[in-house]
Amino acid sequence: TAVLVLNGVNLGRLGTREPGIYGTTSYQQLADLCRSAGAGLGLEVEVRQTDSEAEMVGWLHEAADRRTPVVLNPAAWTHYSIAVADAVAQRTADLIEVHLSNVHAREDFRRHSVITPYATGVIAGLGPQGYVLALTRLAAG
């Protein structure tokens, strides 16, 4: 099964970006982890990152058209992007929302997600392992 792992704005800077909050795993290491864990689960995992909301919306349309399951870290868009939420709402397969940090233990504005109402489920606060857990769930069908 093909699975898309989609990462939003600023996540390309993982490793150097606020390591106290997001850890020292680089984006490249996170992408490698997703691909290798996916391969072990029998999934063909493609990992992408963009700082462009338009590009992310296009990828979500692609997933909807192809019925591709998605692991999505919407990053800051989580909290305000109705455009990303509307694109997620069109999903035709499971979509798991993932956050590296525990968004409920930080600023108040991070506690609200406009994406969650349209997601299959949410994983937050477990770091890169959260992605592996999401892939494990998608592999289980």
Identity of the residue, 39 or 82, whose beta carbon is nearer to ligand DQA in the bound complex? 82
The strand pairing partners of 7, in sequence order, are 49, 73
Structure-token match 């939420």, residue found? 85
Stretch that binds ligand DQA, among 23-31, 56-64, 72-80, 86-94 (CB under 6 A): 72-80
Contact residue for ligand DQA among 49, 68, 81, 101 (CB under 6 A): 101
Extract the tokens encoding 130: 């959260």
Q: Among the residues of 1-141, which ranges form H helices?
A: 19-22, 27-40, 53-66, 82-89, 129-139
Is the CB of residue 95 less than 8 Å from the CB of residue 118? yes
Distance CA 8, CA 23 (A): 17
Question: How near is the Cβ of 67 to ligand DQA at its closest, in Å?
Answer: 25
- Tell me the two tokens of residue 37: 């864990």
Query: According to CB under 6 A, which one of 41, 110, 120, 122 is a site residue for ligand DQA?
Result: 110
What are the φ and ψ backbone dihedral angles of 80, each rounded to 5 degrees?
Answer: -150, -10
17 is in an annotated binding site: no
Assess 49 for contact with ligand DQA (CB under 6 A). Answer: no
Whether residue 7 is annotated as binding a ligand: the answer is no
- Closest to ligand DQA by CB, 2 vs 126, is 126
Q: Which residues bind ligand DQA (CB under 6 A)?
A: 10, 73, 75-76, 78, 99-101, 103, 110
Binding residues for substrate: 73, 79, 86, 100-101, 110
Which residues are known to be catalytic? 22, 99
